[in-house]
Structures are given as C-alpha cells and as structure tokens.
C-alpha cells in the first residue's frame, strides 16, 4: 500500500511538472512573440527617426545656402546702387521682364544672379501694386 501511495504521489508530481512545463513553454513562446513585435516596432521607430534627422539636416543646409545667397545678392545690389545711381540696371531688368525674358536670360544678360533678378522683379511688382 505504501508503494502505491508513493507511486501515485510520484505520478501526480510528474503530471504537475508536465503541466508546469507546458504552461511555461506557452508563456515563453508568447513572450518571444511580444519581444519580436517590440523589436520590429523599435526598428521602425529608429528608421523613422533617422529619416527625420536626415531631412532636418538637409533643411538646415538649404537654409544656410539660401541665407548665403541672400547676403550675396544684397551685397551685389548695394554695389549696383553705387555703380549705377540712375537705376539703369533695375530699369533694364524690368524692361526685359516686360519683354517676356526668363529670369535665367535676364541674369545672363545683366550679369546678375537669378536671386538678384527675382529680388528686383519682386520689388518692382511691389512698387507697382503699392
């Protein structure tokens, strides 16, 4: 009778160990899936962050470039005023615009940058509206 009780206790213990092993295996499998999902989300977030940083770096470079162009254009416009106090260059730009020339053509003809031509035309349009 004692051996039978021991055998039943051992069988119950073995069954309990088997149930615990299965439950742990299922729990571990679920945790692994959750970890994989989180790793995929982290990878996506890293990629998105990298793209955002790359984009913002590019914007900063473009802003600096436009700022330099504006400073250069302002400097050249100041020189134009000193050289041509009668406004001949500005009149020429406006005349060429009225004749249908493109910004690139006018810049080449007048030896100006396209930024300067745009600025002159903007000022002329502003003055004509005002």
Q: Are residues 3 and 64 in the same domain?
A: yes
Q: Are residues 62 and 108 in the same domain?
A: no
Whether 38 shows a pLDDT value over 50: the answer reads yes
**Average pLDDT of the chain?**
83
**Of 101 and 6, the one with more pLDDT:** 101
Q: Are residues 96 and 77 in the same domain?
A: no
Three-state secondary structure readout of the chain: CHHHHHHHHHHHHHHHHHHHHHHHHHHHHHHHHHHHHHHHHHHHHHHHHHHHHHHHHHHHHHHHHHHHHHHHHHHHHHHHHHHCCCCHHHHHHHHHHHCCCCHHHHHHHHCCCHHHHHHHHHHHHHHHHC
Give the model confidence (pLDDT) of 63-97 as tens digits: 888 889 888 887 776 665 444 444 567 888 888 98
**Of 60 and 84, the one with more pLDDT:** 60
Q: Are residues 113 and 67 in the same domain?
A: no
pLDDT of residue 101: 92
Q: Are residues 72 and 117 in the same domain?
A: no
Q: Are residues 78 and 97 in the same domain?
A: no
The pTM score is 0.40
Residue ranges making up the domain that contains 5: 1-83
pLDDT of residue 82: 42
Total number of domains in the chain: 2
Q: Are residues 9 and 36 in the same domain?
A: yes
Give the model confidence (pLDDT) of 19-36 as tens digits: 899 999 999 999 999 999
Q: Are residues 94 and 69 in the same domain?
A: no
In percent, the amount of the chain with pLDDT more than 70 equals 86
């Amino acid at each position: 009778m004692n051996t039978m009780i021991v055998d039943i206790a051992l069988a119950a213990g073995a069954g309990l160990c088997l149930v615990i092993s299965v439950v742990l295996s299922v729990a571990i499998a679920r945790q692994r899936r959750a970890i994989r999902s989180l790793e995929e989300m982290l990878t996506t977030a890293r990629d998105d962050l990298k793209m955002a940083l790359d984009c913002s770096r590019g914007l900063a470079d473009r802003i600096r470039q436009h700022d330099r162009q504006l400073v250069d254009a302002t400097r050249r416009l100041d020189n134009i005023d000193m050289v041509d106090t009668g406004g001949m260059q500005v009149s020429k730009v406006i005349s060429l615009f009225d004749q249908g020339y493109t910004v690139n053509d006018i810049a080449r003809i007048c030896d100006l940058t396209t930024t300067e031509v745009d600025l002159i035309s903007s000022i002329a349009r502003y003055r004509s509206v005002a």
